[in-house]
Structure 1
Amino acid sequence: MDITLNGESRTLPGPCTVAELLAQEHIAGHRVAVEVNGEVVTEAQCASRALAPGDEVEVIHALGGP
């Protein structure tokens, strides 16, 4: 299945959720914000939000501040 992740084409081996994608990218457990096709996916939704061919996923790392 082909998706776009942060502007780069990616081929996934099969059906995948947002949580599984984050695990594959070694960013599960990090503080990130995720959008799929311009819609925010909350942390609670990641395990159940399935990705579809052609989805555009943006993952933004949260930065700490003072």
Structure 2
Amino acid sequence: MRTGDRPPQRGLWSKHAWKTVREAMWSTTATCRLAFIICTFCVVPAAALLLSAWAFRVVLF
């Protein structure tokens, strides 16, 4: 068991509360990962399109 897996002091938090915090942290991590993937699929192609349009404009005009 790693140090971060257990509560800071015995008796401060109940087992259920610690489990809830871990699940919330996992949920946040999963949400951030999903947001990053969605941004990658939306932002990267948009940036590539803008860069292509700019390069096309520079070459032709």
TM-score range (shorter-chain normalised) is under 0.3
Q: Which has the higher strand share?
A: 1
Q: Which has the higher contact order (CA 8 A, sep 6+)?
A: 1
**Greater Rg, structure 1 or structure 2?**
2
TM-score by length of 1: 0.23
Q: Which has the higher helix share?
A: 2
